[in-house]
Amino acid sequence: MSNHLHLNELNSTKNFSLLPKPIVHGTSQSSSLNFQNKPENSQVSRSTTRLSVKTEAIQKPATEVITTPRTTTLKVKATVVALEFDSSILSITNLGDELKELLRNPLTLELVSAELDPKTGIEKPTIKASANQIDEEGDDVKFEAEFKVPPSFGDVGAIYVEYNNNLEIYLKEIVLEGLPNGPVHITCNSWVQPADKSPKRVFFTNKSYLPSQTPSALKRLREAELVTLRGNGKGERKECDRIYDYDVYNDLGDPDKSLDLKRPVLGGKEHPYPRRGRTGRAKSKKDPLSEKKSSETYVPRDESFSKIKDLVFGSRKYYVALHALIPNIESVLKDSEQGFTQFQDIDELFKEGFNLAPIKDKGLAAILPTVVRTVNDVKEEILRFDVPKTVERDSFFWFRDKEFARQTLAGINPSSIQLVTEWPLKSKLDPKIYGPAESAITKELIEKEIKGYFTVDEAIVQKKLFVLDYHDLLLPYVSKVRELKDTVLYGSRTLFFLTAEGTLRPLAIELTRPKIGDKPQWKQVFTPIWNSTQEWLWRLAKAHVLAHDSGHHQLISHWLRTHCATEPYVIATNRQLSVIHPIYRLLDPHFRFTMEINAFARESLINANGIIESTFSPGKYSMELSSVAYDKLWRFDTQGLPNDLMSRGMAIEDPSAAHGVKLTIQDYPYANDGLLVWDAIKTWVTDYVNYYYPDPALVESDQELQQWWTEIRTVGHADKKDEPWWPLLKSPTDLVEIITTIVWVASGHHAAVNFGQYDFAAYFPSRPTIARTKIPTEEHTEEEWQKFLQKPGRALLNCFPTQLQATKVMIVLSVLSDHSPDEQYIGKHMETPWSDNPVIKAAFEKFSGRLNEVEGIIDARNTDEYLHNRNGAGIVPYELLKPTSKAGVTAMGVPYSISI
């Protein structure tokens, strides 16, 4: 079923221009046109339409296909397939009968020749026909039109669509029958606006063209459609617009509601950050740097979730969770500061749950089955969570140090662990401000912990020491965060030792508080010593580190590295690459719904006083901290998996190794499985790119491609535009590396950090998002110390999130971890333009076959008793990078895009 619906933004009008950008995914199985000097490709799913034309098997893009001249007029039938509106949506809008009646009204279609008139040198007149509704089949509504195509018309290059109605319509595809070479399939997957609101839309065939190879009669349409999609940078965008442009993150706060909700602008010299999609909303009255809030956040029309049956599930679930269920829980758990008084109370969330307050939306149990149950005998709904897989297998998993260490390699934040290469560990922060730079973790302490098997120097040489280092990132925010209510922050380092079994063993945790006022720097090292007092202090220190890791995971590994960094790629691709550009069609599936998801996040997750600020340790400084991470840590050339591993010392380059790198820890599930997926993606991208760029010079001469890459670097990531590490784009090899990186981030990396969140973190003692109390040894009173000694378990519970904080996070993790029924998994769905080209089709089938093999390899690894980081008593197998999944919360499956 459909793929995308995304495209809109900066036009001064919301209209789809007369020459709008092609949005169709064409499946041309055959066509009366055969374009010269251009390989055909498939995949289109942008908000611009495209026509698909089938060409003969092409071995190289430059191959010319010869057609036999026609001498008779053809009767060509066009069948247009639109999607019926979902009945639940119709009931919400109270427009069901009217919409259904309007869908019966006609469309006007115009065939566009790919050839200029040989006598006049101008575009040939179009051939127009009206389409009337002929059928309803399931969710589809069909329209039909008939054309008389004279011999002089030549090949069809595009089609105009005009909708003579007062409501938008969603077009799936157009099929042309009666052409000499067989049916032409034109996949639209786009919203078409009423004729009185927007000029007619254009949809190109599925044939892909580099700019220099575009048929002469299509060049004007190609260029004009890109102009339409870029807009003019003025005015507030309307819902039906399909314009793409950039803006800074100036919409996270809400100063007009309260000055306490004012937040700094992210993007610019002071707070570097990627750019987001521009909405053009008015400025706040109380803060001219901020954008005024509105009831909905604009995204280009075809980037937004559709309001049709198969796609409503994901957006509806997200909306209900954040806008209906969470306020309901807040009304039930009225004491926002109430913590858990005993561990049994936590277990009750998975056993009995608690009653929800009366709620208008009665579909909660169907929409959120992981967290809401309907009690049939009283027809009431209760909040009761599914038991995560981790708890099912081992109810004490969260207590174990080995599991704490294992999850740095096989959990939901596996890209933070790094090799220790120097000793002593030192801070790079200014010691005049933050205190002595050298770590309190001493050589003697470590050598005692590893019991004399190695000296520290020997352990470093043999690559045995690893660290989670959140010291320099967090320390500058410690004093600010401590001014907030019920949250405590430290800078932290956690040191691990690689055992002979290939597993990590935690050795020490260092917590640091910088100088605050007249208080000097405070730091302490905790080790897993087996006496009761030190053991409980270790557990409390571990809770703080886990809160740090949870924040790093959500704000950096997840949000920043995938959602946030990818949005500029989506915008640039739609602004600079025509839908008939082969690279557009390659990238398009990987951007499905990302802008819409990000808009939701800015409204309810990362906004001022939203879920993140109210439940994670950095509080109101969460997004500012994300900006610091972007400034100090993010670089495009280390976003691809092999380079990421090497930058952290987790691998070294080795051409003789299976994936070109040799892992420092051989049993590293994220890296091992990720490299399989990375290689499969890279091989597919290489086959695709080499087909369309057989001559390396074509890359440098491709104006659209070069403008695309320039805009990503200098506008989308403007605050990093002068960095020397940006890859050059001069050859097919360069292009392959760039695209593989973008695709990996949107598919593999996002899957690894997203879809396991419920199973690994919903039982929050295993990954608390906030630490509310300080370590008992930090400047304590005698009374505080005695309370700790008498009830250390209560001290740990007090450190954990409150009931309200924990419950809110658990709901969000359930939603984020869930695969919708219409999910499109990498390698499983072949875009129509790909299937139309036999060479590309064969390459994709090879890609798909390789991913099937990857699934089998991962299954085999998870049963290997020698791989202790993914197999053993009570251990959840590592399946986050298995390519496919069923719907629901499964902790596996790699979708094409950042779709949740």
Which residues are tagged catalytic? 558, 563, 750, 754, 900
Beta bridge partners of 108: 130, 162
The two structure tokens encoding residue 492: 């932290």
Radius of gyration of the chain from Cα atoms?
Answer: 29
Residue 433, token pair as written in the block: 């401000």
Place of tokens 């200098």: 714
Contact 184, 557 (CB under 8 A): no
* Token pair listed for 871: 């197999």
Total residues found in the chain within this entry: 900
Annotate 27-54 with DSSP letters as a single string.
Answer: EESS-S---TT--B-----SSSB-----
The two structure tokens encoding residue 53: 């034309």
Q: Which residue has the tokens 């790629």?
A: 569
User: What does the angle CA 103 – CA 30 – CA 193 come to, to the nearest 5 degrees?
Assistant: 25
Strands 522-526 and 651-653: unpaired
Q: Are 582 and 770 in contact (CB under 8 A)?
A: no
Mapped onto helix, strand or coil, the DSSP state of residue 310 is helix
Q: Which of 466, 499, 610, 488 is nearest to 545 (CA)?
A: 488
| CA-to-CA separations, 336 to 324, 340, 802, in angstroms, rounded | 18, 12, 7
* CB contact set of 497 (below 8 Å; sequence gap of 6+): 449, 450, 459, 464, 465, 466, 504, 505, 507
Helix (H) or strand (E) holding 83: strand 74-83
By C-alpha distance, which of 559, 561, 549, 760 is closest to 641? 561
- 171 DSSP β-pair partners: 82, 190
3-state class (DSSP) for residue 126: coil
Question: How many C-beta neighbours within 10 Å does residue 346 have?
Answer: 16
**Which has the closest alpha carbon to 291: 279, 304, 302?**
279
Contact between 390 and 759 (Cβ < 8 Å)? yes
C-alpha distances in angstroms, 793 versus 340, 343, 779?
11, 9, 20
CB 491: neighbour CB atoms within 10 A?
A: 26
- 243 with 300: CB under 8 angstroms? yes
The secondary structure of 143-190 as a DSSP string is EEEEEEE-GGG-SEEEEEEEE-SSS-EEEEEEEEES-TT--EEEEEEE
Q: Are strands 888-889 and 74-83 parallel, antiparallel or unpaired?
A: unpaired
- The answer to whether 193 and 15 are in contact (CB under 8 A) is yes
Instruction: Give Cα separations from 508 to 401, 460, 607 (angstroms).
Output: 11, 16, 35
